[in-house]
Amino acid sequence: MLNKPLVLTMLETLCAEINATVIYEKEFGYAGYILFEDGRKSMFRGTSFNVNGQGASAIAKDKYYCSYFLREAGFNVPTEILVYAPSYISQMEIKNESVSRRLSGIPAALSFSNHQGFPLYIKPNDGTEGKGVLQVKTKHQLEKSLEQSFEEYPLMLVQKSITGRDYRLVVFNEEILSAYERIPFRITGNAKHSVDTLIQRRLNQLREVGQGRKIDANDPRIDSRLLEMGIQRADVIEQGKSINLLSNANLSSGGEAVDITDKISHSTAKVAIDAANALGLTLAGIDILCDDALVENGKYTIIEVNSAPVLNGFANSGDNQNAKVMNLYRKLLNHLNKT
């Protein structure tokens, strides 16, 4: 029997308020449509609803194009280069030799590192939820990581490392629906248990609330992070000391979310709203790195844009957020009912 996802349960409750019905695939409850009272249908899949145009959504999904158009519109984005797999370049040579000559390969990435230095980040151009994102610190590591990544992804971004606290702002109809700080997967020492035990315990806690599904206790990125800090899995960490075990803060990779919706500065909110408008998106998750999103007119960098953001990303932050999440989906549903 299907254990309904939280979003599906909320949609059913909200649809009943407006005499609409949710029809969904019964095995997983991941896709379906909303049948409104006048007979119109609005399809959905996961967190993808019929809100944004197809072209705008496609641009947001393509990280390179997304950064390009944001940069052209005057927003701060990472310095980066798009790198193509050798197999992709070979295929393009057959289709269009003149285009293939303009495609950057691994040598271009190594040249990029000469100018930008290390560390650098590499990530799939159309990846989601932090999958495939790696930090590299040497030319050898950059080359080998790209070679391995190209076995799965044809296009990879190489980006200059940006420091700052990680925030997601969810924009809808030129309004900030929610804003939260994302904290990477971490453990806190208790002066009793080993790092390895604390990692497994933390993952068990996350999975009890439906999070951390994209991270494994033996993830090599964790070992790399521990090596950087000079910590062994068998070590015992002092009481109260927290250590971050991943470089990205995606919730699916064990990150935590702290709700700051009511505290966000006007200038940070404006950056997110204006960025969504620049890309033609009605609903968007704008990922920003900055020193403090609560301070006016601070420096920022837009890292990514998601055209199908999870609205309940902060639902497990420790407070009872169900009423707030319900209100977010109510706004979305009312918009769909009117369009």
Burial group, residue 191, by CB count within 10 angstroms (0-12, 13-18, 19+): exposed
Q: Which of 226, 246, 266 is the last residue of a domain?
A: 246
CB 199 within 8 A of CB 237: no
Query: pLDDT, tens digit, for every residue of 176-205?
Result: 999 999 988 899 999 999 999 999 999 988
CB 314 within 8 A of CB 178: yes
Residue 170 shares a structural domain with residue 305: yes
Query: pLDDT, tens digit, for every residue of 156-183?
Result: 999 999 989 999 999 999 999 999 999 8
Sequence letter at residue 152: E
* pLDDT at residue 52 in the model: 95
**pLDDT band, residue 323 (cuts 50/70/90):** confident
CB 257 within 8 A of CB 251: yes
Query: Within a domain: residue 120?
Result: yes
Query: Within a domain: residue 292?
Result: yes
Burial group, residue 227, by CB count within 10 angstroms (0-12, 13-18, 19+): exposed
- Count CB neighbours of 46 within 10 A: 11
Query: Within a domain: residue 1?
Result: no
Query: Within a domain: residue 132?
Result: yes
d(CA 175, CA 337): 18
Residue with tokens 């095995």: 27
Query: Under 8 Å CB-to-CB from 155, ≥6 apart: which residues?
Result: 64, 82, 83, 84, 85, 88, 124, 125, 126
**pLDDT band, residue 263 (cuts 50/70/90):** very high
* 191 SS3 class: coil
| CA–CA–CA angle 4, 10, 12 (5° rounding) | 80
d(CA 299, CA 72): 18
* pLDDT at residue 210 in the model: 67
CATH of the domain at 147: 3.30.1490.20
Q: Which of 222, 246, 270 is the last residue of a domain?
A: 246
Query: pLDDT, tens digit, for every residue of 39-78?
Result: 999 999 988 899 999 999 999 999 999 999 999 999 999 9
Query: pLDDT, tens digit, for every residue of 201-251?
Result: 999 888 877 676 778 888 888 988 898 889 999 999 999 999 988 877 777
Residue 168 shares a structural domain with residue 254: yes
> Which of 146, 166, 196, 175 minimizes the C-alpha distance to 293?
166
> Which of 309, 200, 304, 316 minimizes the C-alpha distance to 248?
304
Residue 67 shares a structural domain with residue 83: no
Residue 108 shares a structural domain with residue 194: no
Over the chain, what is the mean pLDDT? 90
Residue 66 shares a structural domain with residue 120: no
CB 246 within 8 A of CB 203: no
pLDDT of residue 318 exceeding 80, the answer is: no
d(CA 300, CA 216): 31
Helices (H), the chain: 6-17, 54-61, 63-72, 86-95, 97-100, 106-116, 139-149, 195-208, 220-229, 266-278, 322-338
pLDDT of residue 290 exceeding 80, the answer is: yes
**Residue 299 has which token pair?**
């420096």
Please compute the mean of the pLDDT values over residues 79-106 and round it to a whole number: 95
Query: Within a domain: residue 29?
Result: yes
Query: Within a domain: residue 101?
Result: yes
Residue 254 shares a structural domain with residue 323: yes
> How many domains would you assign to the chain?
4
* pLDDT at residue 313 in the model: 59
Domain extent, residue 172, equals 51-77+163-184+248-339
Higher pLDDT, 61 or 131: 61
pLDDT of residue 311 exceeding 80, the answer is: no
pLDDT of residue 314 exceeding 70, the answer is: no
- Lowest mean pLDDT across 101-105, 216-220, 304-308: 216-220
Query: Within a domain: residue 70?
Result: yes
Residue 71 shares a structural domain with residue 115: no
- Count CB neighbours of 117 within 10 A: 10
**pLDDT band, residue 130 (cuts 50/70/90):** confident
Please compute the mean of the pLDDT values over residues 275-290 and round it to a whole number: 97
Residue 96 shares a structural domain with residue 16: no
CATH of the domain at 68: 3.30.470.20
Residue 252 shares a structural domain with residue 329: yes
Query: Within a domain: residue 271?
Result: yes
| CA–CA–CA angle 53, 286, 175 (5° rounding) | 75
pLDDT of residue 315 exceeding 60, the answer is: no
Conformational region of residue 240, where left means phi above 0, alpha means psi within -120 to 50, and beta covers everything else: left
- Lowest mean pLDDT across 1-5, 58-62, 166-170, 269-273: 1-5
Q: Backbone phi, then psi, for 175, in 5-degree steps?
A: -135, 145
Higher pLDDT, 208 or 26: 26
CB 270 within 8 A of CB 29: no
Residue 155 shares a structural domain with residue 89: yes
* pLDDT at residue 321 in the model: 64
Query: Under 8 Å CB-to-CB from 313, ≥6 apart: which residues?
Result: 168, 170, 178, 180, 251, 257
**Residue 138 has which token pair?**
């040497």
Residue 218 shares a structural domain with residue 339: no
43 forms beta bridges with 33
Residue 192 shares a structural domain with residue 267: no
Q: How many Å separate Cα 131 from the centre of its chain?
A: 9
* pLDDT at residue 70 in the model: 98
Reported pTM: 0.87
Higher pLDDT, 70 or 29: 70
* pLDDT at residue 319 in the model: 47
